[in-house]
Every structure is written in C-alpha cells, then in structure tokens.
Structure 1
Amino acid sequence: MIQTKLIPRTSEAFEPPMLIKNILAESLKYEPHREIVYRDLFRMNYIEFNKRVRRLANVLTGLGVKPGDTVAVLDWDSHRYLECFFGVTSIGAILHTVNVRLSPAQILYTMNHAQDNIVLIHEDFLPILNAIKDQLTTVETFVLISDKVYTDLNAVGQVPAGFVGEYEALLRDAPDQFDFPYFDENTWATTFYTTGTTGNPKGVYFSHRQLFMHTMSLLTYLIGYEALPFKSRTDVYMPITPMFHVHAWGFPFLATIMAAKQVYPGRYEPEMLLKLLVTEGVTLSHCVPTILNMLVSSPTAQKFRDQLSRWSVLIGGSALTKGLAKAAMDLGINITSGYGMSETAPILSVVYLNDSERTLPLDEQIDLRTRAGRIAPFVEARLMDDTGQFVAHDGQSLGEIVVRTPWTTQGYYNDDERGAELWRNGWLHTGDVASITPDHWVVIADRTKDVIKTGGEWVSSLDMEDVLSQVEGVAESAVVGLPDERWGERPYALIVQKPGYDLTAEGIKARLQSQIERGELHKWYMPDRILFVSEIPKTSVGKIDKKRIRAELKEQIFP
C-alpha cells in the first residue's frame, strides 16, 4: 500500500465500529410493526423481536457466556435462529451455525474444532447429540429448543444431563433490556463449516465488519440497482436456504436492517413452503436448484399460479439450467441467479438486467438470467491462469475466478495450510473456471475439479447439464467425467425423468446428435453413457455431489 496522509482526530471524537448490533438497531426506526413469522405457529413484530434478542443476551450472559466464547446452534430455520444471529454476536460471543445435515462424526468434529462452549439444540436433533455427547471436549452447557414450551425437561424424552432449561422458558423469565457494548469491528462474529473434496470440514469465520459490509453490498445491489425487487412496502422475505449455511446467504441481516416482513419455514416441507408462500404473501426467496425443482414439480404448484407470479427467487449454490428456469418462468416466477461461495459470505455476483436487457422478451432473457450474474458492488473479481497471470475479460477467455472483497474470510480456522492455498498470490481462489464479459457478466464454465478433459478439449459438465435440462421429460441431470484410456476422460450422465415420461438413452442421444449435426453442439458433448436414476446424490446443502457420483460410477462401471 502507498503512504498517505491520515485525517487528524480530536481526542474526544468517536468513530462507531461497524457492528451487527447496528443492523439490529435500524429495525426499530421506520417499520417496527412489521412481522416476523415462524411457520403457522408464531408471529411477532420488530418491537417484540428486539426485546427477545435482549432477553437472549441476558440468558446467555447469565449462563456464563463471555465475549469470545462460542455458542453453537442446531435448529431449523426459525425466528429463534434469527434471534441468535443478533443476540449471540452482539454480546461479543461467536455464533457457530452447525450444519445439521452432516454425519454425526462430522458434527462432532466441527463442534470440537470450533471449541463450542454452549449448545442450543432443537429436540429433533437430540438423537445426534446423544450419539456424540460423551465425545464433546469443550461444551459445558446445553439449552433445549422446541416448538413447545417445556418448564420441566423431564417431560422430554432423550434429554441427557447438562441441560439447563428450554429456550422459550428461559427467555420468558429474562429481562427484555440489555445494553449491547461497543467493541472492535474486527471481532470474530460467526463460524460455520464447509465440506470439500478431501479431509475434514473447514471452519470459515467472519467478523462483524465483514458481515456489516456484506449487508451493505446486498443493500446496494438488490435495492439500489433493483437486481431483485426487495424494496417495496409489500415485499415479504422467506429463506429456503438453511440458516446454518453462510447465514442464509446474508439475507436475514438485509431483511432485518430493512424491517421487512420475514417468514421462517422451519423444516423444509413442500406443502408448508407453498402454504406460507400463499398465506403470508411471500415475494422473495433464495434457494438451490434442487429446492426450486422440488417446488416447481409439485402438483400443488399449478394451483397457485396467481400467487407464484408475485414471487422472485434467487438461485445459487449450483448452476441454474435453462430448462429449470423456463419451468419456473412458465409458472410466472421471477427467476434469477447469483454466484458466491461459503468463503465469500457468499455474494460475489447477481443477475442485473440493464435498461436494454430488461425490455427483451422473457424467452430471450433466459440466457442472461441463468448466468452467474454481474459482479456485485465492492467486489474486485479477475480471471487467473495456472501460472498466476491475469486473463482478459473478453467474454471468451477462461480462467479461475479470483476475488477480493471487504467481507471475504481471511482463512480457515486453525488450518494455515489450506488457508494459504485459498489465498494464493494475494487473491482468494474460488476454484471456479469462468469467463467475464467486458460489461461485467460472469459466465461459469465449471468447477476446476469438474471440468472434463476429453480428446484434448475442455468440456463443461454444467453446459452438458444445461443441454440435457432442455430435453422434454428430463427433471434433473448430472454429468461427470470418468477415466478413458483413449480420450483421457469421457462424460457420463445421470438423469431423473419426470413422471409420465418414458425416456430412453438412445432417444436422448439421437436428439443430441441432431444438435451436433446442426452445429449447435460440439461432438465432445455426447455422453458415453446415460443412466436413469430415481434421484441424484446431493451434498448437505443440496448441491449435486459429483465426488460421490464419480466414486459410485467408477465402482459400478470399472469394478
């Protein structure tokens, strides 16, 4: 950095740090009577929400939680989880959002690695806790979470020793006033764990400043630029991305600073999601393609076309195919894509249609809406080749996306080696191969580990999945590369077909062949084999698990 002249400071001047408590404070200024809803079981306004957050702070400090301690939460998406986003962090403690979809052994690893001090756990996850409790090395206290209020924990089955009470009962007896302190904005706020292709889950962590700045970017992009219509008095937000995964993409912080109506669905059930969508007037959600496909494919969806036409959905986590986008748009859903990763909090780009693009017919917008989006405000994104040299942003040249933002994680907790690999050459390496257009569109080609090298050509598994998604009767597809003595690798495709269709591998290949002959598709995009399956393996956060698919296919095809 260059040497500059800093501004002089008056000895009495105070520069407020960027803290999560400041996001909470905004929720009371303009629309304090808007609601926060949990399923069909609970609702409150922002006045009551702020009181409950302070009650939680009193409960935690009363239980001995100190600044720097780690509070683990295992819960469904709920108003309680939202309270923890603010109540835990605003006392200077660290919130560990535990991925409840990991295996018990992985959950045990993350809780010990994060050095959790206290655990807030929904009764649905007690069987997991009972299996690992004796192996937890740092946890001293447990609090039960339930949709019921238990004053006597003996009335709950499977509750082991160490529980001090039930969440709602503890909040009820706590004062609703708490003076959240000021502290350094670089204070550690949250931890969660992301799984990779090898090794144990990696601990990703963020400071108050990083989460504050990520919220400001979302505020600028989604509202200032209207990348999604999250701005009017009638907008209602419901996440369909787990709150344990990158803070539900940061949207709960955004919704809270705006005092928007928020709806939390608890356990993801298609019927409950659709019910809340209709009865609570939900207008904005975000999810992975798997969840959208589940909702769009539901027979019930057709009954709610009028309500769905008011719904905007941001897709991330995996590529949005043109086939799924068209199916959603046919139901009237305003569908767009975004791109990011756990280590980037996560937003790096979101689809933004400029004045000329938004006038295009919807069928011509699909290509744009299924891209990774335009680079978000305050994000510096470049393309880098294997030698560490930058690649031109000409819309054609490919390179790995590397980024710098005010909110990217600074490493992996207690894992310097993998942290250094993440931050090679002073840039955070995403592991995604892409092109970037001169007007800042990001077009993902593939994950570096998923690109298929066949016959000397690079073939994008995402492009192949996009082509297959447009075959009538295909509900879902996944493409991976497997070893081939002659060509190095060859693509193999898994397909889930829609009910009522009788697709064949030969029929799909014939369609692809006709596209090849018309010059619409490269010959290398013809899969060696097409296998029909009842479902495609997914990771704990709903992404296609290509590591598992490759392993299972290798065992099946090359025993």
Structure 2
Amino acid sequence: MLQTKLIPRTASAHEPPMLIKSLLAQSLKYEPQREIVYRDLFRMNYLEFNRRVRRLANTLTALGVKPGDTVAVFDWDSHRYLECFFGITGIGAILHTINVRLSPGQILYTMNHAEDKLVLIHEDFLPLLNAVKADLTTVEKYVLITDKVYADSTVGNTVPDGFEGEYETLLEKASDEYDFPDFDENTWATTFYTTGTTGNPKGVHFSHRQLFMHTMGLLTYVSGYECVSFKSSTDVYMPITPMFHVHAWGFPFLATMLAAKQIYPGRYEPEMLLRLLVKEGVTLSHCVPTILQMLVNSPAAQQFKPQLSRWKVIIGGSALTQGLAKAALELGIQVCAGYGMSETAPIMSVTYLNDEERPLPIGEQVNLRIRAGRIAPFVDLKLVDDHGNTVPHDGHSVGELVARGPWMTQGYYKEPEQSENLWRDGWLHTGDVASISPDNWIQIADRTKDVIKSGGEWVSSLAIEDLLSRVEGVAESAVIGLPDDRWGERPHALIVLKPDYTGKVTPAQIRASLQQQVEQGDINKWYVPDRVIFVPEIPKTSVGKIDKKKIRSEMREIILNA
C-alpha cells in the first residue's frame, strides 16, 4: 500500500459518520413546507414528516427493537415506507424490504434467513403472512398497516390477534422527540432478497455509508442533464418502481435530502397513476418498461398529452426498446434509460447527452436514449473475456461487464462462496454481456445466459426484441434461444399485439418484416426468429422483468410444438 502522510487528529474535532439520518436532516433546512403525498388519501409537509419519523423511532424502541435487529416491511409504495427508510435505519436497526411478489415459500425463506424480529404489514398482504406465519422462527411482534384509518378513526382499535396495534394509532401515541444517535457508518442499514436462476433468493445488504454515497453519486449525476435532472425547486418526484426493489432505485433518499415534493401512488393502477401525474404535477419518475408501456397504451394518455410533456422517465430493469421510446417521445415524455442491478444499489450508468448530442433532433436521439447510459460518477466499469482478460472499449467488442464503486454490496448474507464468486478478481461480476464506447456509452448486448449462439454467431435476444418493437402492431416481445440440431440454437419469439391489431397481423408477417431487413443488409439472417407466437401476456419476474427462465422452463414445449 502507498505510504502517505495523514492529517493529525485533534481529540475534540468532530468527524461525522456518513449516516442516513444526515440525509433526513437536510430536509428541514430550506423547504420544510413542501409536501409528501400518498394517493388521494394523505398529505403532509416535511416538518410533519420528520415528526412522524421520530414517532416511528420511539414506537420501534417501545416494541423492543434494538440496534442490529431486523424489521420487515410489507407495504405498497407509501409515505409510511418512506418513514421506515429513515426511522428503522436511524435507530441502528436493519430495514428488510419484503418483495411481496415472491411466492409464500420464498417469503418464508427470506424472513427466516434475515432473522426478522418485527413485521410491519399492510392488511392487503395478510394472506401472504398467514400462509407462512406458523413457520416463522424469529419474528416476535406484528404491526398492522391499513389505509382505512384515513376514513375511519376507529379502525386502529380493531387489529388481528397477535398484533401490537395499528401503525397510525401507535405513531399517534408516541413522542415526537427523538435524538438519532451517531454510530459507525459501516453499520448494516438495509437488506432485501434478489432471485437468481437457481437456489433460494440471495440476501443483498447495504451499509449507511454505501447508501449515503449512492445518494451523493445520484445527486452528481442528475444535477445537470435535462432528461434526468432533479432540481428540488421545480421537480415533483413519483416512484413507479416498488420501494422493496433496491430502495426504489435510491431516489427517495435523494428526494428527501432535497426536500422535493414527493408523490407515493400505493398500488399501481393506471388511472390513479395518471390522475396523480396530472393533479400533483409530477415531473420525474422511474419504472420498468412494462409500466411505461401500460401508461403509453392507456386510452387516457392522449387526453393528458400536455401534462405528459413535462414528465421525465428513467427506464431500467429491462431494455428500453426503440418502439417504446418513440411512442413515449411522441407523447412528449422525456424518456431515457439507466442501468444497474440489486447488488450495485443500483446506479451504474444513466443516459447523458453531451454538448454535441443534445442539439440533435429527438428522432436522432432515440438510439442514444435506449442505450444503458454513460458510466456514472465514481463507478468503474470494464469488459472482460472468459479468461478475465480486458476487452477493448471500442464500441464494438463485447465482454462481461464488471464493476467497482463505493456503494456496491460486499456480498450476499450468509453466502460466502457466492459472495466470493460475485467479487472474483476484485471486480463485481454483473453477468451481462456489453460493449463500451470510447466516450463511455454502455450498450448491453444480453445476459450471459440469454445470448443465443446460432450458426456460429452470437445473437443478442435484446437486439431481436428491439427490432420487433419497431414492427407495426407489436406491443411487447420476448425472445429466447432453444436448441437446434443444425444451428446449435435458434431464436424464438413470444409477442403481445396491440389491441387494435389482434387478428389483423400474422406470425408470418412479423417474420417477413425482419426478413426484409435481412435482404436490405440491415441485419443478418440469424436475427429472424424461427417461430413467432402470439400470447396474451409475457411472464414477468417479481420486479417486472421478462422472466426468460420461466419461459424456457414452462413454455418450451408450447413454442416447439407451435
């Protein structure tokens, strides 16, 4: 290690740790009157929000939660979830954001594995809890969450047996005086579970320092560029990514630090989302492509086109296709892509157009906006081949994308071998095949397990999906590779048609549209799927990504026999 000269320490000097409570403290400095809104049910300003976070801290303490204990939360995206981001972590406890879209068996595994002590749960998810409650090994107490308290103040007096009380009622009884302590910034703050291709879900964990640094990195990235800029004086933020999924991509921490107006939509319903967009003047959101597709295709979208023209949307989780990007841009939505993963907290790159690219007409910007973005500040990314050798960043050569940065997880909870494999050779291995241009643009080619080897050529399933998105009538597609005796593998496509095109477009026409591009020399023949099958919907994972694992395992015979 390099020998350096350290600054002498003064015994009485203050060295503040990087803690989540410091992000919260900033919210009262400049714009404490700004609002946090939950659906059409509840609103408060930052003064009240801070009081409620302190009340939550006192409530947790009264329920016996100590530093190092794990508190599980089942809820929709709400102001309560935001309070938990700060109240649970602020007392030195660990926030476990439960993925409510997992199966009961998977939820049981994650809760026992994380050693949850207290559970805060919305009544909508009580059937999930009841399915596993008898087999929970560490949970001691439960608190009910219900939206009914906003209409009926007596609801808090009637809670299920075995529950300590109702969330709002408990907060109301608690003191709003609480002095959040200092502690080591490397203290474990949050955990959640990510599902892989095999085995049980894996516990990803982050420290206060990592989440503080991620917030600073995110602030650096979104402070200038107009597509994803976040200016607290003019922007209104509404997540459309579940808060259980990588802390809603980290934006709630940033929005709170900036005291920006925040809107929490609860259960995702197209009409409610559009109503909140219009009524509350939402200007910044993030979501997976499925959600944006749902909103773009909504009959109300054209009606609200003037309001949508001020909306900026970051797409992640799955690739942003050219077809979806164009449809959004035609409505005036400033759409662009970002890239990250659960293990990286998640930001690794976001679209950034430089001085030469920004003046380009929107139509010419599409190919840039659908890329995975430019490398984020403080993040190092590179490409490696199967032997760990560095692959050139020339915009053409591909390799596995590996990463390093100050906010990336150290590994998986109680999984030392998988943690070592994740961080082999000192780089976090993403499992994504990509190229990097000399000016730092990332282009994801595919997941290593999804790339198709056909006729000796590597074929990207994402590239085929992007080509299909441009075909008239195609709403959504998923492409997988299946074994082929002659060519090794061949691509097969599942397609969801737009409602007006059902019965008017055939699989042969879809294939013919791609074959025409082959004849024009735009693509090679390996990109034309062997089969195109129309389906009512495409299987998704618990966080809205196309579930190619499920397609391969459950739909293989259907595809091959079509």
Which residue is 1:518 aligned to? 520
Which residue is 1:430 aligned to? 430
Match of 1:110, SS?
helix
Q: Deviations over 1:15-44 (max 9, x none)?
A: 100000000000000110000000000000
Find 1:509's aligned residue among 489, 511, 535.
511
Number of residue equivalences? 556
Per-residue deviation, 1:14: 1.9
1: distance between equivalents of 2:192 and 2:31?
A: 31
What does residue range 312-327 of structure 1 map to in structure 2 within 5 Å? Answer: 312-327=312-327
Per-residue deviation, 1:228: 1.3
What does residue range 129-528 of structure 1 map to in structure 2 within 5 Å? Answer: 129-149=129-149, 155-156=158-159, 159=160, 161-226=161-226, 228-231=228-231, 233-501=233-501, 502-528=504-530
Q: Deviations over 1:281-322 (max 9, x none)?
A: 000000000000000001111110000001000000000000
Match of 1:508, SS?
helix
Which residue is 2:548 aligned to? 546
1: distance between equivalents of 2:459 and 2:38?
A: 44
Contact kept? 1:151, 1:165, Cα under 8 Å: no
Aligned: 1:128 with 2:115: no
Change (3 A) 1:171 1:232: closer
Contact kept? 2:492, 2:559, Cα under 8 Å: no
1: distance between equivalents of 2:548 and 2:305?
A: 34
1: distance between equivalents of 2:348 and 2:154?
A: 45
Find 1:556's aligned residue among 537, 555, 558.
558
1: distance between equivalents of 2:261 and 2:238?
A: 9
Contact kept? 2:232, 2:255, Cα under 8 Å: no
Per-residue deviation, 1:6: 1.8
Which residue is 2:6 aligned to? 6
Per-residue deviation, 1:2: 2.2
Which residue is 1:31 aligned to? 31
Per-residue deviation, 1:162: 2.2
Structure 2's unaligned 5+ residue stretches are: none
1: distance between equivalents of 2:266 and 2:352?
A: 30
Counterpart amino acid of 2:555? L
Which residue is 1:68 aligned to? 68
Q: Deviations over 1:254-294 (max 9, x none)?
A: 10011000000000000000000000000000000000000
Per-residue deviation, 1:552: 2.2
Per-residue deviation, 1:555: 2.9
Contact kept? 1:140, 1:162, Cα under 8 Å: no
Change (3 A) 1:170 1:410: same
Which residue is 1:86 aligned to? 86
Contact kept? 2:148, 2:155, Cα under 8 Å: no
Counterpart amino acid of 1:475? A
2: distance between equivalents of 1:450 and 1:123?
A: 38
Contact kept? 1:55, 1:175, Cα under 8 Å: yes
Per-residue deviation, 1:148: 2.2
Q: Deviations over 1:136-171 (max 9, x none)?
A: 000000000011236566745xx3x32100000000
2: distance between equivalents of 1:62 and 1:414?
A: 29
Counterpart amino acid of 2:542? S
Match of 1:556, SS?
helix
Change (3 A) 1:57 1:151: farther
Contact kept? 2:227, 2:335, Cα under 8 Å: no
Match of 1:357, SS?
coil
Contact kept? 1:335, 1:369, Cα under 8 Å: yes
2: distance between equivalents of 1:397 and 1:519?
A: 21
Counterpart amino acid of 2:22? N
Structure 1's unaligned 5+ residue stretches are: none
Per-residue deviation, 1:13: 1.5
Contact kept? 1:313, 1:336, Cα under 8 Å: yes
| CA RMSD after TM alignment | 1.1
Match of 2:555, SS?
helix
2: distance between equivalents of 1:223 and 1:17?
A: 24
Per-residue deviation, 1:509: 1.4
Change (3 A) 1:262 1:67: same
2: distance between equivalents of 1:416 and 1:185?
A: 23
Which residue is 2:100 aligned to? 100
Q: Deviations over 1:197-255 (max 9, x none)?
A: 11110000000000000000010000145551311522100000000000000000010
2: distance between equivalents of 1:2 and 1:489?
A: 50
Which residue is 1:537 aligned to? 539
Match of 1:118, SS?
strand
Contact kept? 2:187, 2:207, Cα under 8 Å: yes
2: distance between equivalents of 1:9 and 1:361?
A: 55
Change (3 A) 1:232 1:415: closer
